[in-house]
Amino acid sequence: MVTSKKITVWSVIRTLFLIFIIVSILYPFLYMISISLSSNHHVIKNDITFYPKGLQFDVYKIILSNNKLFIAYKNTINYTVVGTAISLFFTSIAAYALSKKNRLPFYGFINTLIVASMFFSGGMIPAYLTVVNMLGLYDNIWAVVIPSCIGTSNLIIMRTFFSQFPAEIEESGRIDGLNDIGVLWYLVLPTSTAILATMGLFYAVGQWNAFFTPLIYLKSQDKYPLQIILRQIVLRGQMEETAILYSAGGNIIPEDSVKYATIVVAIAPIIAVYPWLQKYFVKGVMIGSLKG
């Protein structure tokens, strides 16, 4: 447009507004990291604003050698890897079958079954009783990964993606003697890495961040994932039992350092994969919004 080069009042307000948004999101991360890397003296004095003062890594040493946190971290990685693999497998095969509207037997019935479940749910307790009492999934990894195995919106996004795959290529594969499983495995999946990465990210982040499912389906401390421990440490201040308040030398590490450092450790993997995968997930949302 013609007026785009002019600096108007509006363009200044707009830029300032966006800068405010960017800062409001980035500053908490900067602050957290600064506190966790600062010396006890400065944390207690509470004079850190933008950068670490009296740089030290003691808090991380203590946190990373804390057994309870280590187990929780291991559990979360375990649940995330297993959960994502299972979810991705069952979602892709179902989505591929559902993308073959004309050939899938009972398509109408299956589709209604899936879509209708988005509008009505039995609620928290019947779901809990089904999983725990009827299926006997309680206090183990399967109780955490199976009830959340297929996400309806992810299934629909993948189905839409697969339905855009050129029919001629599938047809040629079938003429060469591949059945539907072969077509999916040899022809469709190798060219669908973008959607697999997107869905993988969605499921992995979901599993990494899961709080409600482990809260109700797990009982043993040694099976708790990171989010449950994170709540205990940050929100409930249950640190005396984890005994990470004390450094090896016996001098007390401030509560804030421990809490911020725990959060940093908990979100580090997500932030690490974020730039790499962020180009995929917007695409995923777009595909899904075409045919909600």
Partner 1 sequence: MKQSIAKKPGKYTTIPGRKIGKNNLLLKLQDGKYLLLMVLPAVVFYILFKYVPMWGVLISFQRYSPFKGFWGSPWVGLQQFEIFFSSPFWWRSVRNTLLLSLYSTFWSFPAPILFALILNDVKNYKFKKLAQTISYMPHFLSTVVVVGLFYMFLSPNTGPVQKLIVAMGGTKSDLFAQAKYFRTLFISSGIWQSTGWGAIIYLAALTNIDPTLYESATIDGANKFQQLIYITIPSIIPTIVIMLLLRLGHILGVGFEKAFLLQNDANHDTSDVLETLVYRTGIAGGNYSYGTAIGLMTSVVNLCLLFIFNGISRKISETSLW
Q: Which is nearer to partner 1, 43 or 62 (CB)?
A: 43
Q: How far is the CB of 51 from partner 1 (least distance, A)?
A: 14
> How far apart are CB 211 and partner 1 at their closest, in Å?
5
CB of 215 to partner 1, least distance (A): 8
Closest to 93 (Cα-Cα) out of 196, 167, 208, 194: 196
Minimal CA–CA distance to 194: which of 100, 287, 98, 90?
287
Q: Are 280 and 197 in contact (CB under 8 A)?
A: yes
Distance CA 35, CA 220 (A): 32
Least Å from the CB of residue 249 to partner 1? 23
Amino acid at 233: I
Q: Which letter, b or e, does each residue of 215-248 get, where b requires 16 or more Cβ atoms within 10 Å of its Cβ?
A: ebbbeeeebbbbbbbbebbbeeeebeebebeeee
What residue type is assigned to position 279 of the chain?
K
Q: Nearer Cβ to partner 1, position 53 or 249?
A: 53
Q: How far is CA 146 from the centre of its chain?
A: 16
Name the residue nearer to partner 1 (CB basis): 134 or 248: 134
The alpha carbon of residue 190 and the mean position of all alpha carbons in its chain are separated, in whole angstroms, by: 24
Nearer to partner 1 among residue 39 and residue 209 (C-beta): 209
Nearest one of 214, 47, 195, 37 to 137, comparing CA atoms: 214
**CB-nearer residue toward partner 1: 60 or 90:** 90
Shortest distance (Å) from residue 245 CB to partner 1: 16
Cβ distance to partner 1 smaller for residue 97 or 249: 97
Give the span between the Cα atoms of 247 and 59, in whole angstroms. Answer: 8
Tell me how far, at minimum, the Cβ of 38 lies from partner 1, in Å.
Answer: 12
CA 161/CA 263 separation, integer angstroms = 36
106: left (phi over 0), alpha (psi -120 to 50) or beta: left
Q: How far is the CB of 62 from partner 1 (least distance, A)?
A: 18
209 and 227 in contact (C-beta within 8 Å)?
A: yes
Q: Minimum distance from CB of 250 to partner 1 (Å)?
A: 23
| Minimum CB distance to partner 1 smaller for 123 or for 249 | 123
Residue (248 or 273) nearer to partner 1, CB: 273
